Structure 1
Amino acid sequence: MTQFSTLWNNHVGRDYVCDQNVFANQCAMRMGKALEDTGISLESKSLKRCSNYSTKFKDHKPGHIRSAQELANIFYRNPKILGDNTKKIILDGSIDDNLSAFKNKKGMVFIMNGWGNTDHIDVWNGVTMRMKGASDTITYRKRGKQVWFWELM
């Protein structure tokens, strides 16, 4: 099975992985869980996690990652964490503004500032043109000031 297939299969989609009343936006939590379930270590003291948000979540070890930007920054600095053949692409605008760069490609996508200062991180299947954790992929594709993409072979 390819790295992408494993990551896609390990992503929970729209299911909540932590307390939805406290954390309504869980894209980073879902992506972090998928990455960790795929065997990609995300050990970092600087990551905001549910377990350091409140003692209520102290049993959520190591804790779910709360920030899409912080998660994306890890792979921006070192894309090879995702695998030796990972290709990083940074594009201004939205996915739809750069559709040819995403069509038929598979990997992890980060949409920067698509909802004001809020971001989105997800797995991307360029064959079906959809994200697994997005509530409406077509709307998400039109958002963002910049898109970071890590193509997985």
Structure 2
Amino acid sequence: MVFSALLRFIFGFGLLSLALSQSNAGGAATTPDLPWVLTFGRPSNYDSYWNFDTSSIPADPIHPFRRVENGLEINVFRGPVDGGTQQMIQIHVESSSSNHDVFWQVYNGGSIVTRYSAIQHRPQTTELQSNVQGTFAMIPYQPGTRITLYWRLKDGGL
């Protein structure tokens, strides 16, 4: 189970990175034009949280910073997008059971962090939803920033 989850994570990231690196084949660096933090208020109705410093995140998708907790798996690593010109923190969250969905948010201080599923993709909601297939989020890499993930499980799933 853990091995297949890691393979899905690496394969998914590889496709995402390839697509993003091709998005700017001209070679000029593209910096996402969104503010780094959007204020949506403090999270509520979340069962669990985990925080980490972005400086501690490895730049290695094969050996991500990993957390497994009852009901979910989180893999985090730093990686280049846009032809290697933009460093992003890659976050992958998945439910460990097809009977549950994971609802999660990414915070820095009292504000939700702007997330991207692709370069220049504006978040439409404050919350992401993951199932056993997992969901990616990316945030611009800024060393020394403390990030907090909040999540809750909900019965249902696939």
Scaled by the length of structure 2, the TM-score of the pair is 0.31
- Which is bigger in relative contact order (C-alpha 8 A, separation at least 6)? 2
Scaled by the length of structure 1, the TM-score of the pair is 0.31
User: Hey, which of these two has a bigger chunk of helix by percent?
Assistant: 1
User: Hey, which of these two has a bigger chunk of strand by percent?
Assistant: 2
